[in-house]
Amino acid sequence: AAADPLQRAFPECRYFHSSKARCNGSAERNVRRKYSVITPIAMAESDEVARLVKELLEKPIVAFPPQRHQLEASERPGVYIIRDCGGNILHVGRTVSGQGGLRQRLKNHLYRKSSFTRAYFADGENRIRDGYTYQSMEVRDDRMRALLEHSAIGLLCPAHLGLGHVK
């Protein structure tokens, strides 16, 4: 049987499962009948998102610049990953609107103008220039950008998913 698109993109991951594997008998027939019209479209989109996640992870890892140095990033919209000094993924984000694209969004993190940096560096000191890195990729389509961000968060930062707990 063909693997899930995300399983194909990330064969080392064992957390994916097929919804069809959980169906049997009449329940399976009902699922197939209800979703048979949209399944090819949804699968094509799912394949594209999986491809984009893999492409994002293959982008160069770039160090945040030291003080008084220019941030080198695209001014177009896209998705980005921020890593700590040890290479651990801390944050996945995207540009939603506004001018400046990825460069502006990453600059917001540099100058502690994002909810991520305010929460992560709660002591008031933004150490993002001290060995932290980022990867970024232009994604012009609004829907694909949102799907890529959400998929990457789910795959790479499960601790960041909201569980409804009050802090």
Write out the two tokens for 145.
């950008």
Please give the pLDDT value at position 151: 93
> CB neighbours of 134 closer than 8 A, spacing ≥ 6?
61, 62, 64, 73, 80, 81, 82, 83, 106
Please give the pLDDT value at position 10: 52
Question: Measured between alpha carbons, how far is 62 from 136 in angstroms, rounded to an integer?
Answer: 9
40 pLDDT tier (thresholds 50, 70, 90): low
Please give the pLDDT value at position 122: 78
**Is pLDDT at 98 greater than 70 in this prediction?**
no
Q: pLDDT averaged over the chain? A: 78
What angle, rounded to 10 degrees, do the helices at 39-57 and 142-156 form? 70
39 pLDDT tier (thresholds 50, 70, 90): low
Collect contacts of 87-91 with beta carbons under 8 A, ≥24 apart. 87/61, 87/133, 89/156, 89/157, 90/116, 90/120, 90/132, 90/157, 91/116, 91/120, 91/157, 91/160
The label of the residue with tokens 């959400």 reads: 150
pTM for the structure as a whole: 0.73
Please give the pLDDT value at position 71: 93
51 pLDDT tier (thresholds 50, 70, 90): very high
**Is pLDDT at 152 greater than 50 in this prediction?**
yes
Question: Measured between alpha carbons, how far is 46 from 120 in angstroms, rounded to an integer?
Answer: 31
